[in-house]
Amino acid sequence: MNTIHTFKVEGIEDEEIDFAEFAGKKIIVVNVASECGFTPQYQQLQEIFEEFEDKLVIVGFPANNFGGQEPGSNEEIRAFCTRRFGVTFPIAAKIDIKTHPVYQWLTKKSENGVLDSQVTWNFQKYLLDEQGHIVKYLPSSVSPLDDEILEWLNN
C-alpha cells in the first residue's frame, strides 16, 4: 500500500514539497481558500503547527473548486497567508481537487487502503499518522483546535 510519503508536489513558491521528508511526523492535509467563511482557520492551523512543530506538519492545498473562493494566483495566495495569518507551514501550488494526485490518493480507498471520501468544501482536514497512513478526515466545520484533533496530536 502506498503512503502519502511517496508524493512530491509543487510548492506555492515553486519549491518541491517532498512528503517523504515528513516520515515520523503526523500530517494534516487541508484544502484552503482565501475567501471562505472558514478562512480564519488559517490562524488556528498556524497555532497548532507552532505548538506541535516537533511532531506535526501541516500542508495546505489552495483550490478554487468550491464557491470560487480561491481566485488568486500563487503569489497572491502566499502574500495573503503571510500577511493576514503569518502562515509558515508548507503551502502547495494551487490545485484542482478533482484531479490532483494527492487528492486522488486521499479520497480513494483503492489507493490509500483505508477509506473512501469526498472533499465537499474548503478546509476539509485529512489526518495522517507518522507512517503516512490516513487516520481519518474531518469536515470543514471542525476547528483545527477541536479536542478531537488536539487529543490525536497529544497521543
Read off the pLDDT of residues 80-104 as tens digits, 9 standing for 90 and up: 999 999 999 999 999 999 999 999 9
pLDDT digits (tens, 9 = 90+) for 56-86: 999 999 999 999 999 999 999 999 999 999 9
- The residue-averaged pLDDT of 123-152 equals 97
Nearby residues of 79 by Cβ (< 8 Å), 6 or more positions away: none
Q: Are the beta carbons of 128 and 20 closer than 8 angstroms?
A: no
Strand partners, 95: 63
The pLDDT score that the predictor gives to residue 99 is 97
List active site positions: 36
Give the pLDDT band (50/70/90) at residue 1: low
- The residue-averaged pLDDT of 110-130 equals 97
* The total number of residues written for the chain in this structure: 155
Distances (CA, A) of 95 to 9, 31, 70: 10, 9, 10
Work out the mean pLDDT of the chain and round it to a whole number: 97
Q: Is residue 72 helix, strand or coil?
A: coil
Domain annotation for the chain: domains and CATH numbers: 4-135 (3.40.30.10)
The pLDDT score that the predictor gives to residue 39 is 96
The pLDDT score that the predictor gives to residue 2 is 85
